[in-house]
Amino acid sequence: MASVPRIQLNDGHSIPQLGFGVFKVDPDETTRIVSDALEVGYRHIDTARIYGNEAGVGAAIAESGLQREELFITTKLWNDDHSRALDAFDASLERLGLDYVDLYLIHWPSPKDDRYVEAWQSLEQLRESGRARSIGVSNFLVGHLERLLAETDVVPAVDQIELHPAHQQPATTAFAEEHGIAIEAWSPLGQGKYPLFELPEVAGAAATHGKSPAQVVIRWHLQRGHIVFPKSNRRARMAENFDVFDFELSEAEMGAITALEREGRVGSHPDD
Ligand code: NAD
């Protein structure tokens, strides 16, 4: 089984660069799907309270027989919990059946509520307690990050943002790099909402390397240094998305895919 590279975080911990995401995975099917992912070889699972499937993730972990230290588990604080983050975290841990998570994120800044600084201070306490080994944010743009850096003590370990070839968020990634914040790319395949896989830059590289277009896009992320967790309910695709460590895109192939930027957001805007 391929060994997945780890990315060093700014707090001394490290994270497997390739994981498995469970957004829109039906709670009733989650245990089967995450069990498949663990059997395929994934050891990093990305869930969230709002996905409603933390309990299914926890059941798959319990059934797997894997040691807790072999796994990297992320969950997230939902917007309506910013003022009660400690309780929300306890509830997530209980649903997961774990006594710590590897990474806890503020899911969205939700600026209309203006409570993300308060939420972050609670996450700082959770990190201090060791029950969240690392803490980070998601969907934070430069302004939100600047405010955290100015008003709180701990620099987020990661920022999990929408990022795929059509939407690369150069301002946020540059700011994150400058401050030692690792980038997690959500919807790394653009959720299949635009014809990414048919584009000649992607399909051509796939043909050259004898790989699929999805594998080429995942490889592009890995070579850019992003942490990714593509989602699929199908075991064959989980295996395909994991089988990305036996080829390398050339500089020209990387450049051609990077040039596909078109501000093509598929999810919500963080300010909304
Ligand atoms: P994704 O980009 O991973 O796309 C998933 C879809 O791509 C699948 O449903 C399937 O239709 C298709 N697909 C997957 N593998 C394929 C393959 N090998 N060949 C062809 N098609 C394939 O989208 P996602 O699920 O939105 O993002 C991945 C993860 O990111 C989520 O599961 C979640 O963990 C995280 N996420 C976080 C946020 C956030 O706000 N923090 C938002 C969205 C997603």
Domain definitions of the chain by residue range: 6-196+213-248
User: What average pLDDT does the chain have?
Assistant: 97
pLDDT in tens, 117-128: 999 999 999 999
Please determine, for residue 154, whether its predicted confidence score (pLDDT) is greater than 80: yes
What pLDDT does residue 264 have?
Answer: 86
**Catalytic annotation, pick one of 51, 100, 104, 116:** 51
Q: Is the pLDDT of residue 251 over 90?
A: yes
pLDDT one-digit tens code per residue, 7-59: 999 999 999 999 999 999 999 999 999 999 999 999 999 999 999 999 999 99
Q: Which residues line ligand 1 (CB under 6 A)?
A: 21-23, 46, 107, 138-139, 160, 186-192, 212, 214, 229-232, 237, 240-241, 267
pTM: 0.98
Ligand 1 centroid to residue 23 C-alpha, Å: 7
51 is catalytic: yes
pLDDT digits (tens, 9 = 90+) for 227-242: 999 999 999 999 999 9
Give, to the nearest 10 degrees, the angle between helix 116-129 and helix 142-151: 60
CATH architecture of 6-196+213-248: Alpha-Beta Barrel (3.20)
Each residue's pLDDT tens digit, 187-199: 999 997 778 999 9
Q: Got the DSSP string for the chain?
A: -PPPPEEEPTTS-EEESB-EE-TT--TTTHHHHHHHHHHHT--EEE--GGGT-HHHHHHHHHHH---GGG-EEEEEE-GGGGGGHHHHHHHHHHHHT-S-EEEEEE----TTT--HHHHHHHHHHHHHHTSEEEEEEES--HHHHHHHHHH-SSPPSEEEEE-BTTB--HHHHHHHHHTTPEEEEESTTGGG-S-GGGSHHHHHHHHHHT--HHHHHHHHHHHHT-EE----SSHHHHHHHH--SS----HHHHHHHHTT------S--TT-
Q: Which atom of ligand 1 is nearest to the CA of 189?
A: 2
Give the up-direction half-sphere exposure of residue 187: CA atoms within 13 A in the CB hemisphere. Answer: 22
Mean pLDDT over residues 161-182, rounded?
98
Alpha carbon distance 96, 79 (integer Å): 19
pLDDT on residue 21: 98
Cα–Cα distance measured from residue 118 to residue 124, given in angstroms and rounded to the nearest whole number: 10
